Structure 1
């Protein structure tokens, strides 16, 4: 569905813009949708939607007919034609994307089969080997002829062009126009995420049960958690405040952290020891030369510790993102695909996060005794520098399992020159093997993790094929300790070796480029100081009842459906300045509220009367989600805005 209207804005003389929103079938923003604007068959500009699904293409010469194309993996491509751009005006185009059920089923739900053709390897594929693909014509034949591939089918044959060419040979005749090799743009590797902050009780159960043996190997147990939330006098989050967890008896610093884009800092007691001794603790806060104390500090299981400081709203624009990549031989099966995914992420960041001052960097590492130990590309606002560095590095060496992860973490921490005033500092640790487990290495990892947390650099491990449960436990612990999240590749893509599924109750499968980009957006979102946010419907609803077309089908099949047990919930007003009113049916147990990064921040038991008020007084302005898990374990979620 497409809606277009004109609104006057201030644009440069002789030009205008095309802007608007992209929403999915649930009217939720689509993040990272690719927007292409063309005229006369030539692409004039490209961008991507931001966290709110908003895009702006500007400036565009006035007086031309434009075509706008919206693409997003798993959804039907939308094309809007005959768009007029007028001088000094903005043409608004609002897109509703519909799921591509065929692609969704093949890519996300069912288990992938290995690709017919592996890119970069010479192949000869005969008729019997590809008959199951349904190829019946020359165009389809060419579509499977990747660079370096010879395909024979019946009386026809095709040779894919070399990587550097666009030439195809069909039945002995060169063809430059019929087809060209597909562009490398990511969206091939599949992945899942476990944000243990959003499943805190489950993590505590796992760390004491299924994964408990690994806490002894790595001498690391993130369990004793304290959360501090800082708000400005304008009720907006305060980021980059330093928060120290101190022992009252000795005044020693037990942990140090920095408040994130939501104003929260995660503090840990006894994370590197199995001691059962409770510390008498308090929190010390340092912000703009002033110091404050929270003496009656309560653990997360009791509450979030909230403090208002007498400072105005501050929304930093800096964004530092680094990729720390295992480049040993065991990564050979996936590293080229991963590089494609990273190129796509980098382009999305460049095109979508215009309001941020983005710097990107990378560290590639191997192991002791290899050709090199680490290679570094410093954080830089020249995006091309990082892209070229990633292109120039490949996998090799290694081979003994554990690698020099500690050296890579050290180099990334101390040589990338992180911006201490940035809104977000994120390091994606992409690997398939843990560090060595000698005592001195484990101690060094502890020291490095503490420094990452102290400097507010969030570690986000991305675990690849060949990893084991021990490495999973360590990586999830690193993510918790540094306020990050945990990403793992899955077998759904059919690429690479076997991927170990994470220990969790359930997870969604996403393309890894989209998941990494979404993580960056979540960690880099900030509440505008002027609090100008996109207005959404005053009253929103959520339900687990099947869609109307499903009910119609059931009726046609003469299957009786009892709808009395479906969950129905509505919540209002939206935005709210404090109280969120809820009305519901068939809701039992707890209703939760999470922040934009997925952390659960509030839990309240549903009142039996079918109505309840959720008081958001303690929390700063921003985007939040109300969540409920039904009896079948399906989570329902609705977005609302708090404007204080």
Structure 2
């Protein structure tokens, strides 16, 4: 007996061409996510949700009719993308300075089914990074990714995750994954990688609370157990607030102090000493941080707020122009050793 491979009646290229022709509103997303079937299908599913939200029932009927016509004629990868997109679609509410609408939206959500391991993590992440209205001039952008299952493991999904992470880093969005019960080691490593790529922090639940199913023991030499709410407040405080170089981090109990733009005034003098008077400017900066000093230093370091070294440079005589154009928005430290002690100053990269 000879097995003949199934040949789809509608090629992926033909399907996408027809989709864009019939529904021009999704054309931009389809072109942007070329080669990523799940994200292209997700754009169509979001369009259907928009039709529902605005009561455009005739347009919704067109979507359903074309879905039924094509879903069994396309190749298996596109078919899977369509089913996942329309059955595991993301519900969203836009970012807002008002807390109550967000709380109301969360209270309206319900969880159903269960056991369908893994989940459409890539779609939720793509929507959060690409579709929400992130403030262009924000000093910090934090995205909490809460999950109890890994993403689907196939080349399309992995490519989608990589694209979302690159965009998040470019926008200065720090990813803070929160792993609940149900994840495995591969998911832990993936979430740690997402946090690392965006200068975020990997957070996990433990069995100490006695709530829920068993939680995976993290792969680390040591960790401290804290109440989740307290830990989240600590992370928000660390990432969202900044001040001029030597000012302490403010408490959440009061409004944050404004960042002084030293580009428009005098440069910041960072802890001058007899043997190593120095300064860095401008602060905040968007592309270049100038560092000037007296004496000799061998290496200049830039670290993030966790202490991780993100840049090393060998400075020229008494000055350096540190290129930061590829750095996400956030708080960083410039550090160097004078031969007698370490000097450092805090600065802000702001897009």
TM-score by length of 1: 0.28
More helix by share: 2
TM-score normalised by L of structure 2: 0.50
